[in-house]
Each structure stands twice: as C-alpha cells, then as structure tokens.
Amino acid sequence: MSELTTKTIAELRDGFRAGDFSAVEVAEQFNAAVVAARSLNAFTVETPDAALAAADAADEARAGGEIRPLGGVPLGIKDLFATEDVDTTAGSKILKGFKPRYESTVSDKLRSAGAGMLGKLNMDEFAMGSSNETSAYGPAISPWQRNDGGNSALTPGGSSGGSAAAVAAGIVPGATGTDTGGSIRQPAAFTGICGIKPTYGRCSRWGIVSFASSLDQAGPLARTVRDCAILLEAMAGFDAKDSTSLELPVPPWEASLSSDLKGMRVGIPTEYRIDGVPADIDALWDRGVEWLRDAGAEPVKISLPHTKYALPTYYIIAPAEASSNLARYDGVRYGLRVDGDSGLDGMYTATRAAGFGAEVKRRIMIGTYVLSAGFYDAYFTKAQKVRTLIKQDFRNAFNDCDLILTPTAPSAAFGLGEKTDPLAMYLNDVFAVPASLAGLPAMSVPGGLDRQGLPLGLHLIGRELDEQGVLNAALAIEERAGFTARPEKWW
C-alpha cells in the first residue's frame, strides 16, 4: 500500500469509505512523510500519536458501520489554533510551553468530523508576517525552488507558511490556516495550492489566538478546490462562544460544486493593474479572464476606487487591534515570565521585551500610537471611515458583477532574507487586503508557473456569503489551468 500521501482529501476519504485502505495505513504514511521532511521546518510540534489514535478510532468506527465526514483523513493544524494539551505558541517565544486545556472550535469540529492531527504548523509570530520569517522557530521553507539551478531557500509565504509548505510538499493532505490580510491566500499562491478565506463570521474565532479580531478568519489550505470545499464545510458553522459568529446553516459547498459559469459576470478591477508587477502575473491574469469566459462567464471592467488606500488602512486597524489583543501577554497567566528589576511593572516590560519578536513589537508600537490620546481620531477613526468606503466600493462593484478576479500576490515567492524593509514586506498583501477589510470570501487557486518555474495564483473575491460562487469559479480555473506541477523532492 504505497503512495497514499499523493492522494487528495476526497480520494483519501472515498478510498477509506470503500475499504481500499485503513485509516491507520494513511496515518502511518503521513507520519513518516512528516519526519522525512523536517528540513522544511514546517512543523512546530509533531503529533504522530494523535494522528494514529484518530485513525484507530476511525477504523474501529468503520468496522461498526459508522463513517464520519473526515474519517481516515489526517491534517496539519496551524499553531494559532488552541489544541488541548498540545503546545500552542502562535509562533512566539512568549507562549513557550503553553498547553491549552481546551480545543479551538474549528479544530474541535475537524476532530469531531473524524480528522486526525499530524502536528502543529509553523507560522509568522502571531500571524504577523508574509514570509514566515518572523516565527520564533525560524522560517518554514518552501518545497519549491527556482529553475536556475541554484538552491536558494524560498519563502512559502505567510503567515500560514508552515501550512502551505506542508501541503505543497505532500506531507499533509490539507491544513488549517488563518487569514487576517492574506495569510491563507498569499502562501497558497506561493506554493501552488488552493486556499480559501470565507466570509468573516463563517468560522468561529473561539480558541484561535487573536491578532486583529475584526479581520481574523480561519480557512483551509489544500491541493484542490474540492478539498477546500470539504474542509471548509467541516470548519464552518455557528458558535455561541464567538460574538461575531454568523448564525447561518453551512451550505453543502462540495455537493454544489459546478464549473458551469453561464450567466455569471466576472469583474476585472482596473485599480489592480499596478506598476512593478511582473509581466508573467499580468499575463496569467489575462489567461484567467479567458478561462472564466470559456466556462460561460462574461468579463466586465469594474472600478474599486479606494484600492490604493486599503493597505494603509489595514496597517492602522490591524496593529491597533493587535496592540489591544496582545496586552494579555503579561507573564501572569501563561507562557514566558521574565522577572525585571522593579516589581510588577518591571516584570511586565521585561517579559514582553524578551517574549515578542521585532515585527510584533513594531506592530504593537504602531497600534499603541494610533490609539493613543490625541492621535485616535486622526489615525484610527480615519481608517475606520476609509474602511467603510472600501466596503462600499465592493458593494457598488457587485451591482455590475457577481465575482471579482485578480492576481493573488504581486510577485512569486521570494528568497528568505531577500526582503528586509517592513514596508516592502507589507506590499505583498496589496491584492489580498481589500477583501479582508470588507469581510468578503476570497480564494487563491494555482494558475501556472512563472519563467523561474515558481507557482502563481489567481484570486477570486465573492459577495458576502457567496463562498459557492468563489469555489465554482476557482474550479473552472482549476479545470482549465491544468496545473499539475509539483516541487521536485530535495528535502
């Protein structure tokens, strides 16, 4: 029984149901693949026993005639999700040793659906980063390499970098991610896989370490559109423990998948054509338009006039919320404590100085400043007003179209250590952030390779709650792009 690790989640699920293999066989093969790929630094913790225990339970249930939706499927869980009795650090030194006594709602739903956990996945510290380089564990490394014969290590993107690297390398069939301003979609694009951020409120935030609460959303990363639909169905749903959870039924996204886009209008936003984007990406965008036309959709030009203000708006709102959320790391209730030289306040400041990395400190400082007396209205209230305008842009655009197609990121994956300027790093999310600010469902699907042999993604943005439209258009692209490239194994 070889090569179970090359199967998609749908194939694993269906093969397990049909009795072609056992869940334990699947778990053992993925456990071995995880160990063999340690040079990717994709995991912060490996949990082979948890994967085997879930597989055992799935096999036993199958013998008794009970098959759960994700029975026989092992997954990777981003280190931002609280996992019961398993280290949960958000990629930060300040949460070192933290073993929650509870399980996040999303990972608990996956567990209840029968999925096993292969381990916790590396990420940028507190999800603040676009390259996984801010992780206290060092960066996860992309399985992809440039075709120039060199072997410089590339970023898998961020912040869900470990999730993307692990899925792309085939050491997990799927993984959870979170997306505050592109953290699922940009890594998916960089590693040639799929990733979807649902409408804000679809997935419970309970038990997910908070970064920017008005933006944070969980979603899956997997190799195919169908696999994303399967995982999202298991992850989404109302949760009374999250005050912004949407009290709506979870639609049957997988069963309703259809790549027939007849009658759909796909908006192409003029403002996303920006200077400095490689020609390969613009060319892929044009091909994407043709693929959707071929599937029956009608392309229409649209305008999202406040696009250029989305990133600066995000870099006020996200740090402001982060500075409040991260106030809880004070050396008292969990994680690191460093005794300073002067009482309680000295302990707070020494703990936070030692526990947070440079990017997290930078964002806490920005957030503290824009919320401080005298600057609150000029920065924070102003940003919230511009956020209203960005939301209105989308609302207006959706009068003329049903979906929006853009590139996912303004470049292919870059080398680790290549981007040192924080602002240059922020610009990575220029196409991803507007949908986050508007709370809209958005997805990256692989479109092709650039001239260096690196994957590029196409990005679909849908109306509020229209995950189905996003998934269907992604499926139409997937069927036409014929993206079968896989990274050559070097790890």
Partner 1 sequence: MSVNTEQVRHIAKLARIAMSDAEIEALAPELNNILGWIEQLAEVNTDGVEPLTAVIDQKLRLRDDAVNDGDCRDAVLVNAPLAEHGFFAVPKVIE
Count of positions on this chain that bind partner 1 (CB under 8 A): 72
Contact between 126 and 90 (Cβ < 8 Å)? yes
Segment 292 to 311, residues that bind partner 1, using CB under 8 A: 306, 308-309
**Tokens 């240059």 sit on residue:** 424
Cβ count near 328 (within 10 Å):
12
424 binds partner 1 (CB under 8 A): no
Binding-site member from 66, 270, 353, 490 for partner 1 (CB under 8 A): 353
Q: 3-class DSSP state for residue 337?
A: coil
Binding-site member from 265, 287, 391, 480 for partner 1 (CB under 8 A): 391
Binding-site member from 211, 272, 285, 379 for partner 1 (CB under 8 A): 379
381 binds partner 1 (CB under 8 A): yes
Pairwise CA distance, residues 197 & 26, whole Å: 27
331 binds partner 1 (CB under 8 A): yes
Peptide bond into 214 cis (omega under 30): no
User: Hey, what are 392's tokens?
Assistant: 């209105």
By beta-carbon proximity to partner 1, the closer residue of 7 and 202 is 202
Closest distance between partner 1 and the C-beta of residue 236, in Å?
Answer: 14
Q: Which amino acid is at 401?
A: C
323 binds partner 1 (CB under 8 A): yes
Torsion of CA 174, 175, 179, 184, to 10 degrees: -40
196 binds partner 1 (CB under 8 A): no
Segment 393 to 412, residues that bind partner 1, using CB under 8 A: none
By beta-carbon proximity to partner 1, the closer residue of 185 and 387 is 387
By beta-carbon proximity to partner 1, the closer residue of 213 and 452 is 213
150 binds partner 1 (CB under 8 A): no
Q: Which stretch binds partner 1 (CB under 8 A): 99-107, 141-149, 288-296, 472-480?
A: 99-107
Q: What letters, b where the CB count within 10 A reaches 16 and e where it falls short, cover 193-221?
A: bbbbbbbbbbbbbbbbbbbbbbbbbbbbb
**Tokens 């036309």 sit on residue:** 293
346 binds partner 1 (CB under 8 A): yes
243 binds partner 1 (CB under 8 A): yes
Closest distance between partner 1 and the C-beta of residue 232, in Å?
Answer: 17
Pairwise CA distance, residues 183 & 180, whole Å: 6
Q: Which stretch binds partner 1 (CB under 8 A): 20-28, 36-44, 47-55, 329-337?
A: 329-337
275 binds partner 1 (CB under 8 A): no
Segment 38 to 77, residues that bind partner 1, using CB under 8 A: none
User: Hey, what are 402's tokens?
Assistant: 């049903």
Binding-site member from 166, 366, 442, 458 for partner 1 (CB under 8 A): 366
Nearest of 168, 181, 158 to residue 224 by alpha carbon: 168
Q: Which residues contact 37 (CB under 8 A, 6 or more apart)?
A: 143, 166, 169, 171, 491
240 binds partner 1 (CB under 8 A): yes
Q: Which amino acid is at 437?
A: L
